[in-house]
Amino acid sequence: MNSERSSSGNQSCVRVQLGDRSYDIQISSGEVGRFIDLILEAIPDLSHALLISDEAVESPWADQLKAAFEQKAVTVRVSDTSVRSGEGSKSIEEFNRLLQWILTEGGDRKSVVVAVGGGVIGDLAGYVAASFARGVRFVQVPTTLLAMVDSSVGGKTGINLPTAKNMVGAFWQPSLVLIDSDVLSTLPDRSYLSGLAEVVKYGVIDDADFFVWLEANALHLVNRQSDAVRYAIEKSCESKARVVGEDERETSGRRAILNYGHTFAHAIEATCGYGKLLHGEAVSIGMEMAARLAQRLGLVSDDLLQRQTRLLVECRLPVVLPEADPDQMLPVMMRDKKVEHGKLRFILPSQIGAVDLVGDVEKDFVREVILETR
């Protein structure tokens, strides 16, 4: 058992079980005002907080958190800075700027980094926390659905090199993850919906009952109905916590299941231009290609593909990509970390709620499913 869940009222807690690096994911709605108390409960000796937030996550959320910290000014010193939105901020230059900033602010090994924003902020601030003084504690406050259900949990932190995404980084677990689903009310539709792709992913790879729940509740999720959104975040975090608890550093292969659809998605993002599709949209099309490939290899019935397609469409996610070009995508896929001895390997479903790592996949099959998904 590598995750635990407890709940009361509009709050629940998922525990990531990692021995002395275990931590809670607190999920609530309308509780940003209480975050400061939860942080102080988890980190009682907090004396210096370093808030790093996305400049776009302005008020009310980041400001509310800042104000709450300032009320504790007698016991906690607060420094804050913001980072420009977008993948471009996951750079060596911004990493360097933040380390220098912590130094100027008088940070030391007792300082705690608090990352407020989406995946870019969490990855960047987490890597800064992992590196400053050989590692300081950090708290994740994700503000996008994608960050809430994926990147804020599990301790993957890092930055990009100019030609290689996420090439430099560290596994550095947060001390606490604080999620308030109300924060999503101000998220643009496209960003919110793209996060649903990762939510659907957990149903396919790990939790068949959750998949059935998603089929019945897709419309509530699309309409951001509060209870449904909170439940979907909880179930997603439970799956993520379970997988991370079993394979923290991606050594046994278990954690790789989280990359379902991602081999295709990364190739789509690289060849169709970053910025044209959001990550979750590319993952949705990637899951579609992966399920088609599983069907083509005789691993699943037509029913799985049909149910997954229907659910993704109900979540208003794209399931085809007219410009998908196998001649461009395949060379990118050959650089995937799962390639072994020049053979493509994929995370593919065996049934709803279970996936396997499938090796030695013929390039021709891959080419065909890309063409079928146009």
Stretch 100-139 residues interacting with ligand GLY (CB under 6 A): none
**Closer CB to ligand GLY, residue 228 or residue 258?**
258
- The one catalytic residue in 242, 262, 338, 345 is 262
Structure tokens that stand for 127 in this block: 């890597």
Tell me, yes or no, if 34 is annotated catalytic: no
The overall longest dimension of the chain from CA atoms, in Å, is 65
- The one catalytic residue in 137, 235, 242, 255 is 255
Tell me, yes or no, if 250 is annotated catalytic: yes
Q: Is 90 in the site for ligand GLY (CB under 6 A)?
A: no
Specify burial of residue 183 (Cβ count, 10 A radius: 0-12, 13-18, 19+).
Answer: buried
Q: Is 150 in the site for ligand GLY (CB under 6 A)?
A: yes
Q: Give the integer Cα–Cα distance in Å for 269 and 189.
A: 20
Rounded least distance, CB 167 to ligand GLY, Å: 15
Tell me, yes or no, if 198 is annotated catalytic: yes
Rg from Cα positions in the chain: 20
- The one catalytic residue in 198, 238, 248, 288 is 198
Binder of ligand GLY out of 15, 156, 266, 296 (CB under 6 A) = 156
Neighbours of 64 (CB within 10 A): 16
C-alpha atoms less than 13 angstroms from C-alpha of 307 in its C-beta half-sphere: 21
The stretch among 4-12, 81-89, 124-132, 148-156 that binds ligand GLY (CB under 6 A) is 148-156
Q: Give the integer Cα–Cα distance in Å for 373 and 59.
A: 41
- Residue 287 near residue 197 (C-beta atoms within 8 A): yes
Residue with tokens 């891959």: 366
Rounded least distance, CB 157 to ligand GLY, Å: 10
Tell me, yes or no, if 341 is annotated catalytic: no
Rounded least distance, CB 240 to ligand GLY, Å: 7
Q: Is 66 in the site for ligand GLY (CB under 6 A)?
A: no
**Closer CB to ligand GLY, residue 249 or residue 363?**
249
Print burial letters for 208-239: b (CB count within 10 Å at least 16), e (below 16): eebbebbeebbebbbebeeebbbbbbbbbbbb
- Which residue of this chain has its Cβ atom nearest to ligand GLY in the complex? 258
Q: Give the integer Cα–Cα distance in Å for 237 and 51.
A: 24
Binder of ligand GLY out of 122, 126, 154, 318 (CB under 6 A) = 154
Tell me, yes or no, if 134 is annotated catalytic: yes
Please spell the DSSP secondary structure of 325-357, one letter per residue. -HHHHHHHHTTSTT-BTTBEEEEEEEETTEEEE
Tell me, yes or no, if 31 is annotated catalytic: no
Q: Is 255 in the site for ligand GLY (CB under 6 A)?
A: yes
Q: Is 258 in the site for ligand GLY (CB under 6 A)?
A: yes
Tell me, yes or no, if 259 is annotated catalytic: yes
Question: Which residues are identified as catalytic?
Answer: 134, 156, 198, 240, 250, 255, 259, 262, 266, 279
Residues that bind ligand GLY (CB under 6 A): 150, 154, 156, 255, 258
